[in-house]
Amino acid sequence: MRILQQDQAALDLVGRGAAVLIDRAITWSNINSGSDHAEGLDTVLTRLEAEAGRLPAEVTRVPTQGFSTVADDGTVRPQARADALKVTARPEAPIQVVLTGHYDTVYPADSPFQSVRTRADGALNGPGIADMKGGISVMLGALAAFETHPERHGVGWTVLLSPDEEIGSPASAPLLAELGGRGHVGMTYEPALADGTLAGARKGSGNFHLIVTGRAAHAGRAFDQGRNAVAGAAMIAAALHGLNGQREGVTVNVARISGGGALNVVADRAVVRFNVRVPDAQASAWITEAVADLAATPPFEGLTLALHGGMTRAPKPMDASQTALFEAVRETGALLGQAIAWSPSGGVCEGNNLHAAGLPNIDTLGVRGGLIHSQDEFAWPESFVERAQLSCLMLCKIASGEIDAFALKRLRQETM
């Protein structure tokens, strides 16, 4: 591969838009859009809708599915989520590229971390600047430049921006699955590491909520008549923790136990919340069965257990399609003077969903940054143009056939 004159024209356009790439990401990051902050999510969605409207594409809000959550008192409550944003160009083209991102963040509405500042070393420090409002800006910048390329007509693309990735994509998962099933190549905009390293193989993940119901009683007068749900929850939590080390690569993190009340009352309700990570499909089946066995056997008489949740994202191994795609990205990066490397990750993202649906994808095409999910989250401003040019050139090479989208899709289908 080499950079052609028409490719360079698109890359130059990205370079001239550097200030816009950074400034709009800062503007979006200064608006809180925590996963449960409905007003903030809607505000950011409106901004994104207007920005996407500058592209020669159809822009629509797409409703997400409802789902249920388990409250701390053990009640199961229906939940609704904000709309996703879908942007589509040339859906009839022979090659289809799926680009995804999320506009929710992990920072709640009352978080003290609400705005972007520039650190002494020049890095941008702010909520979502790396994960992933910076990535969304990079994505849109790459697409705007690609739309000036003379070979663009052979490539259609669809963007999906979701409101719930940070809580496991429970509402947008069907949309991701549908797009993944009919695309050829996927591009997702989670941040790369600070040095530009991409995530390669990813573990799968599951979120579980186990409701433990006992019987209330006075702790002094009728202790023996009660059945302590908090004590049962603690025993179950210990058993869950004991699954660690039993199968290579499988981890169980007991994140929280809620329940109980006054010190003189035997607790009649508790909830154990835990996350599991697995390296492959066999490990996923093993941990699912192990959790089900624990949830079917109360630790002592008088308790009842109800398990909610499950595996939310399948593992994303470095199969033949992923390996071929990464090599193509490495070659593309080399044309730009970017050394592309990748390493396994225990984290999960929408790339897991897309891969499970049959779509080979790179899921860390966003800005270079780090310390995400903390008040030290940062992004390097020079990486906005760098990463937008990488995505733009990838699209150009998909359009020219130098990155063979059809072959990548066939490789993925052979491993399903």
* CATH code for position 228: 3.30.70.360
The C-alpha angle with vertex 386 and arms to 338 and 42, in degrees rounded to 5, equals: 140
d(CA 393, CA 10): 8
Mark whether 49 and 159 lie in a shared domain. Answer: yes
Which domain-ending residue is among 268, 290, 313? 313
Mark whether 179 and 130 lie in a shared domain. Answer: yes
User: DSSP secondary-structure letter at 200?
Assistant: E
If you average pLDDT over residues 55-77, what whole number do you get? 93
Radius of gyration of the chain (CA): 23
pLDDT at 141: 98
d(CA 333, CA 389): 9
Mark whether 146 and 192 lie in a shared domain. Answer: yes
pLDDT band, residue 415 (cuts 50/70/90):
confident
| Dihedral-angle region of residue 49 (phi above 0 means left; psi in -120 to 50 means alpha; beta otherwise) | alpha
d(CA 336, CA 329): 11
Mark whether 93 and 183 lie in a shared domain. Answer: yes
Task: Strands of 214-268 (E only): list them.
Answer: 217-218, 251-259, 265-266
Mark whether 309 and 225 lie in a shared domain. Answer: yes
Which domain-ending residue is among 297, 313, 329? 313
> Can you read off the two tokens belonging to residue 327?
């090599």
Which domain-ending residue is among 313, 343, 369? 313
Mark whether 173 and 81 lie in a shared domain. Answer: yes
d(CA 71, CA 256): 12
pLDDT at 66: 85
Q: Which residues of 244-275 are buried (b: 16+ CB within 10 A; e: fewer)?
A: eeeeeebbbebeebbbbeeeeebbbbbbbbbb
Count of the separate structural domains present in the chain:
2
On the question of pLDDT at 138 being above 90, the answer is: yes
pLDDT tens digits along 288-297: 999 999 999 9
On the question of pLDDT at 416 being above 90, the answer is: no
Residues 6+ positions from 337 with CB-CB distance below 8 Å: none
C-alpha distance from residue 13 to each of 20, 143, 387 (Å): 12, 11, 13
As a whole-number percent, the residues of the chain with pLDDT over 90 amount to 97
Return the CATH number at 361: 3.40.630.10
> Can you read off the two tokens belonging to residue 414?
């052979």
pLDDT at 190: 98
Residue 319 near residue 329 (C-beta atoms within 8 A): no
Mark whether 103 and 140 lie in a shared domain. Answer: yes
- Residue of 162, 75, 129 whose CA lies nearest to 353: 162
pLDDT band, residue 67 (cuts 50/70/90):
confident
| Dihedral-angle region of residue 360 (phi above 0 means left; psi in -120 to 50 means alpha; beta otherwise) | beta
The residues that bridge with 271 in the sheet, in sequence order, are: 211, 258
Mark whether 148 and 297 lie in a shared domain. Answer: no
d(CA 409, CA 183): 8
Mark whether 135 and 222 lie in a shared domain. Answer: no
Q: 234 lies in which domain range?
A: 204-313
d(CA 237, CA 254): 6
Mark whether 307 and 363 lie in a shared domain. Answer: no
Mark whether 48 and 87 lie in a shared domain. Answer: yes
